[in-house]
Amino acid sequence: MVTGSLCVLHWTANFCPVAGKNKLDKIPYITVIQVYAPTSNAEEAEVELFYEDLQDLLELTPKKDVLFIIGDWNAEVGSQETPGVTGKFGLRIRNEAGQRLIEFCQENALVIANTLFQQHKRRLYTWTSPDGQHRNQIDYILCSQRWRSSIQSTKTRPGADCGSDHELLIAKFRLKLKKVGKTTRPFRYDLNKIPYDYTVEVRNRFKALDLIDRVPDELWNEVRDTVQETGIKTIPMEKKCKKAKWLSGEGLQIAVKRREAKSKGEKERYKHLNAEFQRIARRDKKAFFSDQCKEIEENNRMGKTRDLFKKIRDTKRTFHAKMGSIKDRNGMDLTEAEDIKKRWQEYTEELYKKDLHDPDNHDGVITDLEPDILECEVKWALESITMNKASGGDRIPGELFQILKDDAVKVLNSICQQIWKTQQWPQDWKRSVFIPIPKKGNAKECSNYHTIALISHASKVMLKILQARLQPYVNCELPDVQAGFRKGRGTRDQIANIRWIMEKARVPEKHLFLLY
């Protein structure tokens, strides 16, 4: 018997053993394997096959899990004590099947909980013959020796109405849990309240930096630390807004009166108050969503796209299941946090893996060197960075650089020039934070997620400059019909072109072939 909030994470059915994995809030994973062993009349080969299947199942169970193996073993372990496996409170004499069970427990460091506690015999019998003349102990609860001290008691409940010739067997299991500290959530700056003190202090510290012939990684680390330290000290954090409650105070008062009427047994008054509460609740909910829709329409009219979609998400409240486990490349469930991280690392490396050795020979290689990075390029790239975007691993929003204007341009230009000369990128600029967004399908498959990569906003300056310099050369290689991911050739324009071509082909009744 397990008391608490239970969540089944994995379930597997085999011929004899059946396994399920559960998790209670803030405690280790619990793996429960239910078995039905062959009877004493079964062939020896059948018995060995049962234990082989059970052993295979145990090898798939993580060693950190709290393991229970329960069920009808059709074996008698007897009252003889076996150190580390059984106590001295078993029943009758050990038979051959019981000896095989003892050997299995010794091989896997398991203890038979039934035999550890002194009980009256009627609390030890687990099976009664149909005629009521014979009683025996053939059902057992096995637990890992590591968790033996957590077992408080084990006994049967003969009075329980189970509708079976077996008695209800209960083990009381208690864990002493480690105190779990609260995890600190990543902070977010309130970018609408960046004070003037921030710009003054950062500009003064930027003037003290040595920008000539510096290693890009060292120079960036100084710039990053300056922005982070000053931002934390001067910029207020964004406060998390509580979700609006649509039930009014009048409705809450009616709910309190309804609860009192129910506790006093006043059925007629309870019925009347319940009808009144339902009427008020429907009215309040309708008024709440009406106000939400008005805000959405106003945001759409004012062109506030970010606020528009945020309000739609809050109103819709789409449920996304929390990622509790993920499958590895072989289809096995991973539940440990470190294993899940390694699996995601493995998946993203395979997803973005590219052969760096290009076998193709390109004619007409340009040997002329490009000019150094110019401040006007850095200024253009910095201003073109989209605002209100999630920051990368350095947790520096682009707005903290944009508000500094020419001072940030000068510092970033120095970093970009050193990268251009040395071909060495800062380590922060080479790191990406992947955010998995679930799609439709099995949430345990990595392929059923959108992997959104968050990179440093400062690195986008260099990337935009490189893209702008490469764009003329790329455009010369692309045909006119190539429209994907090209500026000025949007999806809507291409749909309009297809419709225009189809309309022209329809009048003279020409055959039209479209290739996608």
Check: pTM over 0.75? Answer yes or no: no
d(CA 425, CA 62): 41
Q: Pick the residue with more confidence: 68 or 176?
A: 68
Q: What is the CATH number of the domain that holds 74?
A: 3.60.10.10
Q: What phi and psi, each to the nearest 5 degrees, are found at residue 306? A: -60, -50
Q: What phi and psi, each to the nearest 5 degrees, are found at residue 257? A: -65, -35
Range of the domain at 117: 6-173
Q: Is residue 130 domain-resident?
A: yes
Last residue of a domain, one of 276, 296, 316: 316
Q: For residue 133, give both structure tokens.
A: 């003349």
Q: Which long-range contacts (CB under 8 A, 24 or more apart) does 463-470 make?
A: 464/380, 464/381, 464/384, 464/385, 465/373, 465/377, 465/378, 465/381, 465/416, 468/377, 468/380, 468/381, 469/370
Helix ranges (DSSP H) in 109-245: 196-207, 216-234
Last residue of a domain, one of 316, 341, 366: 316
Statement to judge: residues 168 and 281 lie in one domain: no
Statement to judge: residues 25 and 166 lie in one domain: yes
Whether residue 14 is predicted with pLDDT greater than 50 in this model: the reply is: no
Q: Give the per-residue pLDDT at 463.
A: 95
Q: For residue 204, give both structure tokens.
A: 């003064």
Statement to judge: residues 129 and 266 lie in one domain: no
Tokens 């805000």 belong to residue:
295
What confidence tens digit (pLDDT) does each residue in 114-135 have?
A: 999 988 888 899 998 888 788 8
Q: Is residue 337 domain-resident?
A: no
In which band, very low, low, confident or very high, does the pLDDT at 5 lie, cut at 50, 70 and 90?
very low
Whole-number Cα distances in Å, 99 to 33, 141, 329: 20, 16, 39
Q: How much is the average pLDDT of 156-180?
A: 80
Q: Give the per-residue pLDDT at 25.
A: 47
- How distant is the alpha carbon of residue 254 from its chain centre? 40
Comparing CA positions, the residue from 450, 454, 440, 442 lying closest to residue 347 is 450
Mean pLDDT of the chain: 84
Q: Give the per-residue pLDDT at 221.
A: 94
SS3 state of residue 282: helix
Q: Give the per-residue pLDDT at 191.
A: 87
Q: How many domains does the chain have?
A: 3
Buried (b) or exposed (e) across 232-249, using 16+ Cβ within 10 A?
eebbeeeeeeeeeeeebe
Comparing CA positions, the residue from 512, 386, 509 lying closest to residue 457 is 386
Residues 75 and 39 sit within 8 Å (Cβ to Cβ): no
Statement to judge: residues 10 and 159 lie in one domain: yes
Q: How much is the average pLDDT of 355-372?
A: 62
Q: Give the per-residue pLDDT at 428.
A: 93
Q: How much is the average pLDDT of 309-315?
A: 84
Q: How much is the average pLDDT of 153-164?
A: 82
Q: Pick the residue with more confidence: 489 or 90?
A: 90
Whether residue 399 is predicted with pLDDT greater than 50 in this model: the reply is: yes
d(CA 273, CA 260): 10
Q: Is residue 59 domain-resident?
A: yes
Last residue of a domain, one of 158, 173, 188: 173
